Amino acid sequence: SLVINGAPYVPITNAYVQGGNSFSATGVLGLNDANDLTLRTDSITRMTINANGAVTIATPTAGTALTITGGGETITAGDLTLSGGNIALTNSTSSSTGNIYKAGSRFMHNYGSNNTFLGVNAGNFSLSDSNNTAIGYIAAPALTTGTGNTAIGIASLFSTTTGSENTALGVG
């Protein structure tokens, strides 16, 4: 038997190796203490998973897409640049699907059919009709029934709950 530095040699059978592994179970890569895990290439840290679970990706220059799937995530970025391609949101079906929020308030959504709402708390999530547009802070927030309405400006169509083909331009 092989002895190294006075101890019997025991082959390592559960390490990650170049070219891949076959563990016959879920492979786990990580730390058992409260330290960050960093991934490096070319001696430069490219990604860090901190001890609290937050992930930081340093300078993504590989030119491939990053997809985050799930509910309730927050993506924090200094400047976010999209070079080619699109930002695709699902249609708004509730306050938690297909919306963009600004400082915790709804900012952009299209709840209903062919509706467009842009501005802090513009529109709502109880409108049952279609082809409405509201642009501006709290524009058309009470509208629940109606089609073809246009509200542009702060609090425009603020108290309107029902009606069709109304147009409001300016402050409330």
Q: pLDDT by residue (tens digit) across 106-124? A: 999 999 999 999 999 999 9
Confidence of residue 83 (pLDDT cuts 50, 70, 90): low
Closest CA to 101 of 86, 115, 89: 89
What pTM did the predictor assign? 0.59
115-148 burial, b for 16+ CB within 10 Å, e for fewer?
bbbbbbbbbbbebebebbbbbbbbbbbebeebbe
User: Which whole number is the average pLDDT over 96-103?
Assistant: 88
Confidence of residue 167 (pLDDT cuts 50, 70, 90): very high
**Share of residues in the chain with pLDDT > 70 (%):** 83
User: Which whole number is the average pLDDT over 158-163?
Assistant: 96
Q: Look at residue 77 in the predicted model and tell me its pLDDT.
A: 54
Closest CA to 124 of 89, 159, 81, 79: 159
- Given a cut of 60, whether residue 101 has pLDDT beyond it is yes
- Given a cut of 70, whether residue 61 has pLDDT beyond it is no
Q: Quick one: 63 exposed, middle or buried, by C-beta within 10 A (0-12, 13-18, 19+)?
A: exposed
